[in-house]
Structure 1
Amino acid sequence: MIKVIIAVIGMFHETNTFAPGLTDLDAFRSEWVQEDDAYLERYSGTRTSMGGVLDGLQEEGAKIICGLHTGATPSGLVIGGAAEAIMDAIVNSVEASVDGVVAVLHGAMVAQGYPDMEGEILRRIRERVGPTIPVAATLDLHANISREMVYNADILVGFDTYPHIDAYERAVEAVKLLVRTVQGEISPVMIFSQPGMLIVPQMMLTDEDGPMKEIMDRAFDIERDPGVLNVTVAGGFPYSDVPEAGVAFIVTTNGNPALAEHYAEELKQMAWERRDRFEYAGYSAVTAIDRAMAIQEGPVILVEGSDNVGGGSPADATHLLRHLVNPPKKSLIVICDAQAALEAHRLGVGATFHGAIGGKSDRLHGDPVPIQGTIRNLTDGKYTHTGPYMTGQWAGMGKTAVIEVGLLTIICTEKRTAPWDPGHVSSVDLHPQDYHVIVVKSAIAWKTAFGNICKDIIPVDTPGCCGSNLRNFQYEQLRRPIYPFDPQP
């Protein structure tokens, strides 16, 4: 039996067009992986999307041709030249004579001149392999799905969970559907719908009662229909100012567009009927801290979603930090400040650090806060994910310093670090359960690091490029009308 030949590529970046600064090609170099040996070293045995792609194709007995896979931590607008270089390298890494292509994509990547990077890379891949070769892609739950993506792919499979703990499973699902398509067992038809809604990530939680879980549960019900191959629910990414931003649905059936359209319209109406329940509100910095300290048992998580690293923020916001410098109970915060981290490494363990940290990206995220404390630990910032999110993924915080300022412990990092995994704390010899208050620069994904130990959660509403009040943002490219800005979609 002749093996199916599948090309594997990837391009993963969540772009916050409101974030300070631009994202250059160097940001992608830490995950610039090509050829079989490099893929196996990086992804074999991991619960990542690419780990799922490799395992799924191996289970199907497919021959795998590893093209380029690259990605970067969420950040600001990608420089146009970097986008061109990435897309050229990816397309050139795909052999034209393959039976199918699978791409690991985010769905909310934006570059100068390219408001829909995923749509553009899929268009170029389609042009490379021709109109008859099946193309599948995985997408993040925060994808801003476009018609261009749907038009240029045969199969799009999005994450079902937030926090994202099913990246591996959805990748396996996508490649199995791809192989079945190549072998002529199924004929995927995708129907795309949008209710005209922009919602914040904090309201996209899928594992607790709420409107998003209700919609996701209905999607799972629909997938039980034998004519349905997949239902993808995308919450969208509101911090990308692009025309396609917002909630979207894709229903994929086996050659039955009418059935797909029926279900896609049902989900669209279901979301619209729940639009008011997607509103979100948090506390001011001072109120949030006061409430946290009044709670008897910790850890209490202060959710500083406005500085959500996983949403592209600078990770150096100081609106909470300035009120935590002299806390009455043990508190922990992570701040990205390359200058301070490098200075701590120069001073050494046991030395006194005296200087202003954070607030160096722009004024929106606050001003630098003066501190004086003892340097307790210094590391290279490298660790491997051990939690449920992308288990086995390599991570790096850059040069990292642990600075104690009274009852406040500051993990000062050279690179922006999202709290997706407990390793970002345990790797510097700290134990999160020792702290009464933990500040997380995240919306929901922090739960994969601290969800099993937290005793209470307090949402914080402070200024930042991932702020929870979307009315504070100046959208210029967003397709209107859209909720919450307009009464009707």
Structure 2
Amino acid sequence: MSNHQLRIAVAGILHETNTFAPGITDLSHFRDQWTVGLEAFTARYAGTRTSMGGVIAAAESHGVDLIPGLYAAATPSGMVEAAAGDALIDELVDSIDSRAEGLVIIMHGAMVAEQYPDYEGECLKRLRAKLGPEFPIAMTLDLHGNISQDMVRHADLIVGYDTYPHVDMYERAVEAVNLLIRKIRGDIRPVRALAHTGMLVVPQGMLTDKGSMKQLMELAFSMERIPGVLNVTVAGGFPYSDVPDAGMSFVVTTDGDSDLANRCASELAQMAIDHKESFNVSYLTPREAVAEALAQPEGPVIIAEGSDNVGGGAPADATHVFAELVNSPQKALIVIRDQEAVEAARQVGIGGAFEGWVGGKSDTLHGKPVRVKGKVRLLFDGHYRHVGPYMTGQRAEMGLTAVVECGQLTLILTEKRVAPWDVGHVRSVGLWPADYHIIVAKSALAWQTAFGLFAKHVINVDSPGCCNANLAHFDYHRVLRPVYPLDETPTPVPRFETYE
């Protein structure tokens, strides 16, 4: 079969669900990235360093016909409501063209709907029911995916990101397409081994260029050089999804060799378990963090407020650190999502005097509103494109945005939640990171793709929030127990499964 004759479908639903986050995620949250059909798909994603951009480029390089179905994505947030969960699956399955000879499905791995704790697994089961047991399917996943048995059972190939912050999603999508084509041609017979560690790891412990996570990645890369190993996926997991499969896991895919897949997965899981305590990170209280930042001789100092991590589903309006910066003696910058405050700024206009309560309006966990006075410096429609290494070229939207100067503190007020994944969210409103001594990043680690080149010092802060690094604060009901670090177990026990 020649390359130009191949027809490959691509589709996906992408959401990282924080089941502890306030609010519910409905269908409207997916509309900003709702794409159907080749023309719309190409116009939005061709040339971008995204998963979709990688699929488009790989298909073009192989001369295959790409047949896009539905792709819909939403910013990480709370539980996906049941109606939205069903509507998305129905639309996804219906959108797959029956003429396709294989499918690349782009998903996160930690999506949860009210009725589907394993949303990706449910999608794959529905796709299998339509496409049949022999139809080749490759799936790309985020490094923070909670990988289930159904996901590994129903996807012939699983290819997860190798980096956090995630800067290789383009490359992993290309890899998935390449493997899928080999599967379609009958050149490989993928078998998968899944090993779960029984460990919950917070995002701050998953930086892939240092520490134990780097060691795991280096071992995975060495395994991928073994003849017969097709892919090794290291999934740190997402501890803020209270589901049975939450936690760190590994998927090893080999060409017909289940024993090799098992040995590799077992070795990776055992290494992670042996180093379980090394994934913990030290933190300061908000007051201590601000004092430490002000004491630094040179900035910018990044205060990483991981408990209000937008990329983990948090509301982006936590005020625990913000309250400590209102009278900052040095220049400080923070982004707060507050629709009411943005509207107040719009009403007074550029140059007008702003006075009002900001933040702390999503719930009580993330703090109380803070009273500020300042001057509106700029109003902006909130549209920009990523210019840094994370999803380069991707469109982003903050909604109506206001920049308010409050003495030494600069507030960027947004209608929508915006994760600090790209410096464009600051540059687009005429600000520059190097001009500030303190930058508060509502992020665990992904802020590095926006501010990493500028940071002179980094402080992790421990404050109340739905992405708190102290997992003892959360009331888990669904995760399989015992699990580290919630339970006093001598050593986590890995769980293994093999699929052909």
TM-score by length of 1: 0.99
Q: Partner of 1:222 in structure 2? A: 223
Contact 1:96 1:128 in 2 (8 A): no
Q: Partner of 2:373 in structure 1? A: 372
Q: Partner of 1:64 in structure 2? A: 66
Q: Partner of 2:254 in structure 1? A: 253
Report SS of the residue matched to 2:8: strand
In 1, distance between residues paired with 2:279 and 2:377?
42
Structure 2 counterparts to residues 206-245 of structure 1, below 5 A = 206-207=208-209, 209-245=210-246
Structure 2 counterparts to residues 29-178 of structure 1, below 5 A = 29-178=31-180
Q: Write the letter of the residue equivalent to 1:333.
A: I
CA deviation vs aligned residue, 1:230-250 (integer Å, no higher than 9, x gap): 000000000000000000000
In 2, distance between residues paired with 1:434 and 1:95?
51
CA deviation vs aligned residue, 1:284-341 (integer Å, no higher than 9, x gap): 0010000000001000000000000000000000000111001010000000001111
Q: Write the letter of the residue equivalent to 1:425.
A: V
The range that moved more, 322-331 or 96-105, is: 96-105
In 1, distance between residues paired with 2:465 and 2:314?
8
Q: Write the letter of the residue equivalent to 1:210.
A: G
In 1, distance between residues paired with 2:23 and 2:74?
14
CA deviation vs aligned residue, 1:334-381 (integer Å, no higher than 9, x gap): 000011112211211000111000000000000000001000011001
Segments ≥4 residues shifted beyond 2 Å? none
Root-mean-square deviation (CA), in Å?
Answer: 0.7
Contact 1:304 1:462 in 2 (8 A): yes
Q: Partner of 2:486 in structure 1? A: 485
In 2, distance between residues paired with 1:406 and 1:52?
45
Report SS of the residue matched to 1:156: strand
- CA drift of 1:14 comes to 0.2
Report SS of the residue matched to 2:32: helix
- CA drift of 1:97 comes to 3.3
Q: Write the letter of the residue equivalent to 1:435.
A: Y
Q: Partner of 2:199 in structure 1? A: 197
- CA drift of 1:390 comes to 0.2
Q: Partner of 1:300 in structure 2? A: 301
Q: Write the letter of the residue equivalent to 2:345.
A: A
In 1, distance between residues paired with 2:100 and 2:482?
42
Contact 1:97 1:129 in 2 (8 A): no
In 1, distance between residues paired with 2:448 and 2:434?
14
Gapped runs of 5+ residues in structure 2? 493-500
Contact 1:119 1:148 in 2 (8 A): yes
The range that moved more, 94-103 or 19-28, is: 94-103
Q: Partner of 2:13 in structure 1? A: 11
Q: Write the letter of the residue equivalent to 1:368.
A: P
- CA drift of 1:195 comes to 1.2
In 1, distance between residues paired with 2:58 and 2:439?
38
Count of residues paired in the alignment: 488
Report SS of the residue matched to 2:5: coil
In 2, distance between residues paired with 1:44 and 1:195?
37
- CA drift of 1:280 comes to 2.2
In 2, distance between residues paired with 1:31 and 1:253?
34
The range that moved more, 272-281 or 441-450, is: 272-281
Report SS of the residue matched to 1:220: helix
Report SS of the residue matched to 1:6: strand
Contact 1:281 1:468 in 2 (8 A): no
CA deviation vs aligned residue, 1:242-267 (integer Å, no higher than 9, x gap): 00000000000011000000000000
In 1, distance between residues paired with 2:127 and 2:99?
12
In 2, distance between residues paired with 1:59 and 1:449?
31
Contact 1:98 1:129 in 2 (8 A): no
The range that moved more, 89-98 or 429-438, is: 89-98
Q: Write the letter of the residue equivalent to 2:358.
A: I
In 1, distance between residues paired with 2:323 and 2:486?
33
Report SS of the residue matched to 2:31: helix
Structure 2 counterparts to residues 321-470 of structure 1, below 5 A = 321-470=322-471
Report SS of the residue matched to 2:403: strand
Contact 1:122 1:152 in 2 (8 A): yes
Q: Partner of 1:286 in structure 2? A: 287
Contact 1:19 1:465 in 2 (8 A): yes
CA deviation vs aligned residue, 1:181-219 (integer Å, no higher than 9, x gap): 001111111100011100100000001x20111111100
CA deviation vs aligned residue, 1:62-105 (integer Å, no higher than 9, x gap): 11111000000000000000011111011000123321011010
Q: Partner of 2:25 in structure 1? A: 23
In 2, distance between residues paired with 1:250 and 1:461?
32
In 2, distance between residues paired with 1:183 and 1:63?
15
In 2, distance between residues paired with 1:274 and 1:257?
26
Q: Write the letter of the residue equivalent to 1:395.
A: A
